[in-house]
Amino acid sequence: MSGKNSVPCSGGTDNAAIKARGTNVFTLYEAVGIRGTLTNLRNRLGVCILVSLVGCGTMTGLPCDDGRQLAVQELLYFGTETPSGHITPEKWAQFLNETVTPRFPNGLSVWQASGQWRSASGEIIREPSYVLSLLHSDDVDEDRAIQELITAYKTRFQQEAVLRVRSSVCKSL
């Protein structure tokens, strides 16, 4: 056991890590009434199987059906308000053409959104935003390219943050 309320599962992950991710596995673990030290071998085995099947399987990747490939979907949220004004549609298009497309020439999707977030100073910021969706393989070069996009945008447009949401998906064309 890794900790007071931990049950090891495959891949070395325990339910304390799962709880931090906010999944329902820990809720299931608590719902069966197992807290603290597990004394019953049957309970230990049952919880390990439950956590392995429900929690750990989703952490190691998706099983993609025939004709589908495992991929990473990135959603990047770009605010458009800057200290010196608003990022125009023309400046956004220029950023896409010069910075995004060369790194991801196989395709992308973009749409406008209304965003809200809390700045480092605690102020609630509401602003028009762009959402960029990218599908790519899960490798170091692609991850580096995403980080370069974020850094370039923050530098070019004096942004405090760019939200990055990364998910494993199955894709097909």
Question: Phi, psi (5° rounding) for residue 106?
Answer: -75, -10
Residues 80 and 151 in one domain: yes
Q: What is the pTM of this model?
A: 0.64
> Is residue 2, in this structure, part of any structural domain at all?
no
Residue 91 belongs to domain with CATH number: 3.30.70.120
Residues 32 and 93 in one domain: no
> Is residue 161, in this structure, part of any structural domain at all?
yes
Q: For residue 66, name the pLDDT band (cuts at 50, 70, 90).
A: confident
> Is residue 3, in this structure, part of any structural domain at all?
no
Domain that holds residue 138: 69-171
Question: pLDDT of 97-153, one tens digit each?
Answer: 999 999 999 999 999 999 998 988 999 989 999 999 999 999 999 999 999 999 999
- pLDDT at residue 11, as a whole number: 41
CA distance 43 to 13: 18
Q: For residue 41, name the pLDDT band (cuts at 50, 70, 90).
A: very low
Question: Phi, psi (5° rounding) for residue 110?
Answer: -135, 140
- pLDDT at residue 38, as a whole number: 42
pLDDT (mean) for 49-59: 44
pLDDT (mean) for 79-92: 94
Residues 125 and 84 in one domain: yes
- pLDDT at residue 61, as a whole number: 59
> Is residue 78, in this structure, part of any structural domain at all?
yes
- pLDDT at residue 92, as a whole number: 97
CA distance 14 to 12: 6
Residues 79 and 146 in one domain: yes
Is residue 50's pLDDT more than 70? no
Residues 49 and 74 in one domain: no
Average predicted confidence (pLDDT) for the chain: 76
Is residue 51's pLDDT more than 90? no
Domains contained in the chain, number: 2
Q: What percent of the chain has pLDDT over 70?
A: 64
Q: For residue 96, name the pLDDT band (cuts at 50, 70, 90).
A: very high
Residues 84 and 164 in one domain: yes
**Amino acid letter at 91?**
K
Residues 51 and 73 in one domain: no
- pLDDT at residue 125, as a whole number: 87
Residue 154: name the closest of 74, 97, 83 by CA: 83
> Is residue 23, in this structure, part of any structural domain at all?
yes
CA distance 106 to 73: 13
